[in-house]
Amino acid sequence: MIKKMFKNKTALITGGSRGIGAAIAVELAAYGATVIVNYRQGKDAAEEVCRTINEQQGNAFSCQADISVVAEIESMFDFVETKYGQVDILINNAGLEIRHPSTEYTEEIFDRILDTNLKGAFFCTRRALLTMKTAGWGRVVNISSVHAVRPTGNRSPYSISKAGLEMMTRELALEFSRYGITVNTVVPGAIRTDMNKGVLSDPVYEKRVVEMIPAQWIGETNDVAPIVRFLVSDEARYITGTAIAVDGGLML
């Protein structure tokens, strides 16, 4: 049964075709939001997420855009606002992680990671804030990572981008919370997603990860999605500028 918590609200999830983004899309749709599933290349996966939601009597639509390119962000918002109305809820979830020793990153790879994870999130938020401010209501949730504060090596641009995302959250919360807009960060720890499926397929690596987690198990995408749903609800109207870890205690 579709609940009505987010009736008449439109939620845009960047990178919503898989993993945490897909789980968030399903969660928000189950509570009545019209969900826009953004994807860069995974059209079939995005449409499958929408199909799952629509079969459960929700409302979901896919929208292609490479959020590392500001012009494509603007086109995406133009399309969404024309067809479905303003974006009330923005989930900056799209992310790119490429693992190398720091001395092996090229300028091109560094820029790809920062442009997707940080610049893209900023310019998506910038565009959404324009209509949220006019409406006097809005919710932005940035999906960060424990690597923003916990270095582990061989992913420095990714960690840098996520640390920047958390400061972006605080800056924008300070500036825009007076307009009925909250801006928060969710910080997943080790979660089973397509992004880390390769490394977690190695039993030795997985065992090493589990041993670092006080809870002693690796989370699932559905451990993250309800936290996001809470943060974009009116129940969380007095929470802004914060980062909530969903990590089994990994950052303790």
3 belongs to a structural domain: no
4 belongs to a structural domain: no
- Expressed as residue numbers, the domain containing 94 is 10-246
pLDDT attached to residue 183: 99
Q: What confidence category does residue 82 fall into, taking pLDDT thresholds of 50, 70 and 90? A: very high
pLDDT attached to residue 187: 98
Q: What confidence category does residue 56 fall into, taking pLDDT thresholds of 50, 70 and 90? A: very high
Closest to 210 (Cα-Cα) out of 249, 175, 180, 243: 249
- Element containing residue 80 per DSSP (H, E): helix 70-84
5 belongs to a structural domain: no
- Cα–Cα dist 51/37, whole Å: 11
Q: Taken in order 20, 22, 26, 32, is the CA torsion positive or negative?
A: positive
2 belongs to a structural domain: no
Kindly state the average pLDDT of the residues 65-75. Answer: 98
Q: What confidence category does residue 169 fall into, taking pLDDT thresholds of 50, 70 and 90? A: very high
The DSSP-derived string for 117-157 is IIIHHHHHHHHHHHHHHHHT-EEEEEE--GGGTS--SS-HH
Q: What is the pTM of this model?
A: 0.96
Average pLDDT of the residues of the chain: 96
Q: How many domains does the chain have?
A: 1
Q: Is the pLDDT of residue 68 over 90?
A: yes
pLDDT attached to residue 88: 98
252 belongs to a structural domain: no
Q: What confidence category does residue 117 fall into, taking pLDDT thresholds of 50, 70 and 90? A: very high
pLDDT attached to residue 132: 98
35 belongs to a structural domain: yes
**The length of the chain, given as a count of residues:** 252
204 belongs to a structural domain: yes
Where residue 77 sits, what CATH number does that domain have? Answer: 3.40.50.720
Query: Active-site residue numbers?
Result: 158
Task: Take residue 132 and report the two structure tokens written for it.
Answer: 């949220």
Q: How many CB atoms lie within 10 A of CB 175?
A: 13
Q: Is the pLDDT of residue 166 over 80?
A: yes
1 belongs to a structural domain: no
pLDDT attached to residue 1: 61
